[in-house]
Amino acid sequence: MEADEIKKSSTLRLNSCDKNINQKFILQRGGKIQPKSNLNLCLTVSEDFREGGGGNPLHLICALKLENCNDTLSSRQKWEIRNPRTY
């Protein structure tokens, strides 16, 4: 994962790892993912979505961006690692 820039509203994309500053993130104990160089920002799921190519229920595709960490956005800024065997 790489941010276009480490600033508010920047979008993210998948890219080859080269250890640049825009690829360095921290998964915090509370579930926030933050750029290592700016702990005021959080990885945030966009409210906008489009329908994916299938699945039941239908998969939704949402953009990811960096936004200020905010309690009102916490439901879209909380992440966790799940064991795939629990699905």
pLDDT, the chain, mean = 92
Distance CA 40, CA 82 (A): 25
pLDDT of residue 59: 87
Distance CA 45, CA 67 (A): 9
* Structural contact between residues 65 and 5, judged by C-beta atoms closer than 8 angstroms: no
pTM value? Answer: 0.85
The domain spans of the chain are 2-82
Q: How much of the chain exceeds pLDDT 90, in percent?
A: 74
pLDDT digits (tens, 9 = 90+) for 38-68: 999 999 999 888 998 878 888 889 999 999 9
pLDDT of residue 87: 54
Mean pLDDT of 20-45: 97
Q: Which residue type does 21 have?
A: I
